Amino acid sequence: MTISPVNFILIRGGAFTMGSPVDEAGRDDYRLFGLKANENRHQVIVSDFFMGKYAVTVADFREFVEATGYRSDAEKGGFSVMFIDGNLEDRHGVNWRHGVTGLERPEAEENHPVVHVSWNDAVAYCLWMTEKSEKRFRLPTEAEWEYACRAGSLTAFNTGENLTTAEANYNGNYPWNNNEKGCFLGNTVAVDSFAPNAWGLYNMHGNVWEWCSDWLGGNYYDECKEDGRAVNPAGPVTGSFRVMRGGSWSFNAGRCRSAYRGHSVPGLRYGSVGFRLIFVD
């Protein structure tokens, strides 16, 4: 039997309904790069996997950089994308060492999720973890991520029919489905903040978006449904955008829903996007 590394949890595989019902609030509220990815429900089976309890932290990523000399896409490109006064703007000189304001992270934020990292950076980190541990680490597939986030729930959030700012870090000025407003912290929080979901995973809703391995297929769910019950779906073979899941500190509650599908080009990096790892036996 595989021994789990520290802070990884065995997620027993199974069947689940992926996607959202057509009347789920917030289902059609967002387009990025002019693309809308549908959330049409379909049946999926996933196998067992181990998932990190937490998103990868600043300290984790620092260890990787110091061990390998790795230069991130933000460092090579000279900028990252930040959420400023409600808009996304390029901020020069910002990289993984910096927080959501563009200032260098203080020591107190070493246990916050690393941000300003691209999909490419996340994959490089996975390869390093694989090489040093002799276990195969990778990003979760979109199906694995949603299965783990839901933790057996069928509702819009793993917390039930609402998500409050006492349960997750998002922009509480924009609650889900006309619920009561909450607070807006304007920053990430430590990866062990808030209560974990039923399977022991922290911050699957909010804090930072998390990169998944899949290329985005806007109609991929419909293709899976036509083929019957999908087994370990890994997304389209090619594409232009990689999937991001979970919402973040800067976004509304609707984008934190278990079924919500974010996306971006793999080389871009943001002050609201990080990642977590899985490994398989």
> Is residue 91 included in any domain, yes or no?
yes
pLDDT of residue 28: 72
pLDDT of residue 34: 63
pLDDT of residue 30: 57
Q: In the chain, what is the straight-line distance between the N-terminal and C-terminal CA atoms, in Å? A: 8
> Is residue 56 included in any domain, yes or no?
yes
pLDDT of residue 1: 41
> Is residue 3 included in any domain, yes or no?
no
Residues in the chain where the model's pLDDT stays below 70: 1-4, 29-34
Mean pLDDT of the chain: 94
> Is residue 1 included in any domain, yes or no?
no
CA distance 24 to 88: 27
> Is residue 26 included in any domain, yes or no?
yes
Strand order of the β-sheet with 8-11 is 8-11, 49-52, 278-279, 137-138
Tally of structural domains, the chain: 1
Domain of 192 in residue numbering reads as 8-279
Closest CA to 129 of 75, 63, 69, 191: 63
What is the CATH classification number for the domain harbouring 168? 3.90.1580.10
pLDDT of residue 85: 77
Radius of gyration of the chain (CA): 17
pLDDT of residue 121: 98
Beta strands 87-92 and 79-84 are: antiparallel
Prediction pTM value: 0.96
> Is residue 2 included in any domain, yes or no?
no
Closest CA to 54 of 274, 270, 203: 203
